[in-house]
Amino acid sequence: MTHLDSLKQHSIVVADTGDIESIARLKPQDATTNPSLLLKSAQDARYRPLLDGALAQAKAAGEDVSGAIDRLFVAFGCEILKHVPGRVSTEVDPRLSFDTEASIAKARHLIALYEAAGISRSRVLIKLATTWEGVRAAEKLERDGIHCNLTLLFGMAQAIACADAGVTLISPFVGRIYDWYCAQQKVADIPLEQDPGVASVTRIYDYYKQHGYHTEVMGASFRKVGQVEALAGCDLLTIAPDLLDQMAALPGELERRLDPTRTTPAERVTLDERAYRWLHNEDAMAVEKLADGIRRFDVDARKLDAFVAGLMR
């Protein structure tokens, strides 16, 4: 028994990578991708056949760079699904984060590409940034049987809005919360028992379980093994390959830390748009990290655009 084996007894383990060889080796249940991960993988010579295939399909269909990138996301997703028994998360362009209808249209297009490739929509999670507009897009998509993963989630207002909208899954970012508080406190590290990222996910998990929400909680963006292990029992945990390897090398069993039968009581809150925006605005960390996350994904999305455009020329 290793720490990774033990963790799999308490939580669904998801690989946070676009590296298909790592996914095949580590054998997670699910996998997640985003523009940053795809940019890295698209530039890897091992995956050039996937890239060439996506570009050829786009050219044959008379599509532009955007169409080619959609096909590239789906090509990687289809390949990843050969190595995981569960689902793959595919992200909507971060530049659509404040446009509900455009996000819905992009999500439906991605699902249509997956279905044309023979992949059931039940095996795909559409990733959307947790803006108010992203949550509203997810609410409509869920009604159409398109399941969503709301990402770049940092605060309780975002989590409550997602649960009320019936979103399938959320990805609260442990490591980026930790980073923000380290910077604010001007320290290099924060002890696990005081880790604000771990505390945030624990609070969201307890709130969901206490009030009977079906939305799954997937802790994400980890900086160290201890953060992962402190959330053993969370519905899902998406973990980078280097941390998965470290856990696979550690012998022993892990204690379950999150449990639906042991939750901290919290009053149920219902948010309309005005209440959501106020509560979110009260959380400086969540406001700053959501905006920063969208900007970071946009930078890599633009780099991917330029890379693919160069190949198409």
The pLDDT profile of the chain, 313 residues, written as one tens digit per residue, is 999 999 999 999 999 998 999 999 989 999 988 888 889 998 999 999 999 999 999 999 999 999 999 999 999 999 999 999 999 999 999 999 999 999 999 999 999 999 999 999 999 999 999 999 999 999 999 999 999 999 999 999 999 999 999 999 999 999 999 999 999 999 999 999 999 999 999 999 999 999 999 999 999 999 999 999 999 999 999 999 999 999 999 999 999 999 999 999 999 999 999 999 999 999 999 999 999 999 999 999 999 999 999 999 8
* Virtual torsion, Cα 23, 28, 29, 31, nearest 10 deg: -40
What's the rounded Cα separation, in Å, for the pair 218 and 107?
A: 20
Residues 278, 264: Cα–Cα separation, whole Å: 24
Taking CA 169 as the corner, what is the angle to CA 100 and CA 104, rounded to the nearest 5 degrees?
20
* Structural domain count, the chain: 1
The whole-angstrom separation of Cα 84 and Cα 105 is 27
Q: For residue 81, what are the contacts with CB-CB under 8 A and spacing of at least 6? A: 88, 119, 123
Question: What is the residue range of 147's domain?
Answer: 3-312
The enclosing domain of 190 has a CATH number of 3.20.20.70
Query: Taking the model in full, what pTM does it have?
Result: 0.95
Annotated catalytic sites, by residue? 127
